[in-house]
Every structure is written in structure tokens, then in C-alpha cells.
């Protein structure tokens, strides 16, 4: 509040008139007068002499004006520049995203976004290790899975299920859970225990001895396509391969955990116009994907 009152005082001193200061700041004369009185009360001294001929600075007013005027003008200029930066669709936008979501499922999105908005300069940081947004100075991040309570604003965009798949050339494809338990399988290091639920809500947990394990989901997919075994994978990664006939969706009545998709950004950082546009476009894109369920 004192900063606002200082701005009113500086304007009144510059224009030598309460009415002119009020007009320039789009305030009433009464408001300008009240704010200057409040500032004088806070500072414990009189800043302006008021007379029918206008305003003149007291000795204390001269001191405060000489110290504050340039600072107030510089601050206004910086804030105006910041406002233009935040509200412009031209400039940088740093996005964090998990590699397994950003590469593959979102390939078309990146192409469309950069073609439609060439003035937005994307910095894309993909990693399956969750980075700290504040430390990385990112504007916005795509996150998958449960989000812990934090200082981030979170918007759920949808979810994708995990499904059981096998290569189309695999000779022994399980047709029930008993066969699934003993058939050759491939797992990611994070999904070695298969927690399944059927369409009626029945839950089963399979602790399998997997033939192959990898920390890279693309490698898991490659091995499944080659017929090395069945796997449980996010539908976002395998939907297009199922449509192309490279993979087959097996035991469709069973599915693994649902993976929620979020956009997050820092509470204390304004979402720029570029970030808001990114959120809007990604939300629209996901709503059209067969592997994404709306929130």
C-alpha cells in the first residue's frame, strides 16, 4: 500500500495538482488526497503544501521526491515491460515433460504447435526424472501419475490406461490370467508387479518372473513387437502400434493402473500468454486422442 501511495505522491508533485494527478492515474481527487494523507501519516511528516494556486513540496517532500521519483518511474517501466513480456505470444516458453509421454504420443502436437505459433520459441526439456520446476526455471510442465502436494498449480488434462499387449507374430498368446502368469513377459523396471482390474472391478496382482526388464519403455515395446513376450504398457504408447497391426491388445477385459496427465506451473509465477495458449492447445489435442480419457 505504501508503494501505491508513493506513486500517487510522486504524480502529485510532478503535476503540482491533485486533480491533474487524479486524472493521469484514473483516480478521484478524494482518493488521491486520502492516499497522500495516509503516506504523510505513515512517514510522520508533511510532504506537500496545499494552496489555491496548487501544490508545493515541503523540505521533507523534496527529500522524499528526489529519492523516490526515479525509482518509481524505473519500477513502472520494468512492470510495463514485464506485462508486455507476459502477455505477448512472441517469446520463449520452457516446457518440462517425461520422455515417454513427450516422444511418441505427443509427436503430432509438437509439430502442429510449432507450425501454428512460429513466434513462440520452445525450450523442451524431456526426462523421465522429475525435475524441480523452480530450479530449472521452467514455465510449465507435463506430469504423469499422482502429484504430491506442493507449491505448484495443477490442472488434470486426462488419463490413459495401461493395457496388456503382445506381438502379432507371438505363437503363444495367453487367453486367461493363468496363462498370463506363466507366459514369457517383458516389463519396465517401474512396472514389474502387474496390478490388474477387470471391467467388473475385480482386482488381481501378478508377481511374475519376467524374461526381460528394461528402464526404457521404447525398448520394452521393441521386444514385444519382436515377439519376445507380453507386456503391460501405457495405451498412449501402443495405441498407434495396435492400429497399425504391429501389436495386439490381449485380455482386453483387464487393464493396469490408470495414469493421470497433469499440467503444472509455479504458484508464484504468472502463467504467461504463451503458457496459457500452450495449456489450451494441449488440452484440445488430448481431448481428440483415443488413448486419453477426459478428466
| Domain ranges (residues) in the chain | 2-86, 91-159+259-287, 162-255
Of the options 3.40.50.1440, 3.40.50.150, 3.40.50.410, 3.40.190.290, the CATH number for the domain spanning 162-255: 3.40.190.290
- Cα separation, 76 vs 282, in Å, equals 34
Mind listing the pLDDT tens digit for each residue in 190-216? Answer: 889 999 999 888 999 998 899 999 988
Answer yes or no: are the C-beta atoms of 96 and 131 closer than 8 Å: yes
Q: Select from 274, 290, 29 the least CA-distant residue to 138.
A: 274
Mind listing the pLDDT tens digit for each residue in 227-246? Answer: 999 999 999 999 999 999 99
DSSP per residue, 203-243: EEEEE---SEEES-HHHHHHHHHTTS-BEEEEHHHHHHHHH
Angle among Cα 217, 207, 205 to the nearest 5 degrees reads 95
- Cα separation, 289 vs 105, in Å, equals 9
Q: Select from 14, 8, 66, 16 the least CA-distant residue to 37.
A: 8
Question: pLDDT-derived band of residue 1, with 50, 70 and 90 as boundaries?
Answer: low
Question: pLDDT-derived band of residue 68, with 50, 70 and 90 as boundaries?
Answer: confident
- Cα separation, 113 vs 154, in Å, equals 22
Mind listing the pLDDT tens digit for each residue in 7-53? Answer: 888 888 888 888 888 888 888 989 998 998 998 888 889 988 888 77
Residue 185 β-bridge partners = 230
Q: Residue 25: which region, alpha, beta or left (left: phi > 0; alpha: psi -120 to 50)? A: alpha
CA separation, residue 208 to residues 52, 74, 154 (Å):
91, 66, 35
- Cα separation, 162 vs 258, in Å, equals 6
Mean pLDDT of 141-166: 88
Q: How many CA atoms lie within 13 A of 18 on its CB side?
A: 16
Task: State which fold the 91-159+259-287 domain adopts.
Answer: D-Maltodextrin-Binding Protein; domain 2 (3.40.190)
Give the three-class secondary structure for 73: helix
Mind listing the pLDDT tens digit for each residue in 248-286? Answer: 999 999 999 999 999 999 876 668 889 999 999 999 999
Evaluate whether 2-86 and 162-255 have a shared fold: no
pLDDT at residue 280 in the model = 94
Q: Please give the backbone phi and psi of residue 117, each rounded to the nearest 5 degrees, phi first.
A: -130, 70
Give the three-class secondary structure for 142: strand
Q: Select from 140, 132, 126 the least CA-distant residue to 93.
A: 140
Of the options 3.40.50.720, 1.10.640.10, 3.30.420.40, 1.10.10.10, the CATH number for the domain spanning 2-86: 1.10.10.10
Greatest Cα-to-Cα distance within the chain, rounded to the nearest angstrom: 100
Pairing mode, if any, of strands 152-160 and 203-207? unpaired
pTM of full prediction above 0.75: no
Residue 35: DSSP 8-state: H
pLDDT at 107 over 80: yes
Amino acid at each position: 500500500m505504501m508503494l501505491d501511495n508513493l506513486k500517487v505522491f510522486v504524480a502529485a508533485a510532478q503535476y503540482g495538482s491533485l486533480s491533474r494527478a487524479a486524472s493521469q492515474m484514473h483516480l478521484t481527487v478524494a482518493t488521491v488526497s486520502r492516499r497522500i494523507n495516509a503516506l504523510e501519516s505513515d512517514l510522520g511528516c508533511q510532504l506537500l503544501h496545499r494552496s489555491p494556486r496548487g501544490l508545493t513540496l515541503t523540505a521533507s517532500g523534496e527529500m522524499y521526491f528526489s529519492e523516490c521519483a526515479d525509482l518509481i518511474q524505473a519500477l513502472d517501466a520494468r512492470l510495463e515491460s514485464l506485462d508486455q513480456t507476459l502477455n505477448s505470444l512472441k517469446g520463449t516458453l520452457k516446457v518440462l515433460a517425461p520422455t515417454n509421454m513427450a516422444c511418441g504420443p505427443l509427436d503430432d502436437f509438437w509439430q502442429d504447435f510449432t507450425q501454428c505459433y512460429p513466434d513462440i520459441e520452445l525450450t523442451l526439456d524431456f526426462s523421465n526424472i522429475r525435475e524441480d520446476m523452480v530450479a530449472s526455471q521452467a514455465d510449465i510442465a507435463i506430469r504423469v501419475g499422482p502429484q504430491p502436494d506442493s507449491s505448484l498449480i495443477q490442472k488434470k488434462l486426462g488419463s490413459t490406461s495401461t493395457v496388456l499387449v503382445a506381438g502379432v507374430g507371438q505363437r503363444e498368446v495367453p487367453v486367461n490370467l493363468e496363462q498370463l502368469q506363466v507366459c514369457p513377459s517383458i516389463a519396465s523396471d517401474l512396472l514389474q508387479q502387474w496390478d490388474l482390474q477387470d471391467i467388473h472391478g475385480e482386482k488381481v496382482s501378478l508377481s511374475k518372473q519376467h524374461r526381460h526388464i528394461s528402464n526404457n519403455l521404447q525398448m520394452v515395446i521393441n521386444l514385444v513387437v519382436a515377439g519376445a513376450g507380453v507386456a503391460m504398457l501405457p495405451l498412449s504408447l501402443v495405441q498407434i502400434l495396435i492400429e497399425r497391426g504391429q501389436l495386439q491388445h490381449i485380455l482386453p477385459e483387464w487393464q493396469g493402473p490408470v495414469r493421470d496427465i497433469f499440467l503444472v506451473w509455479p504458484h508464484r509465477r504468472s502463467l504467461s500468454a504463451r503458457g496459457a495458449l500452450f495449456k489450451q492447445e494441449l488440452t484440445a489435442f488430448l481431448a481428440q486422442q483415443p488413448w486419453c480419457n477426459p478428466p
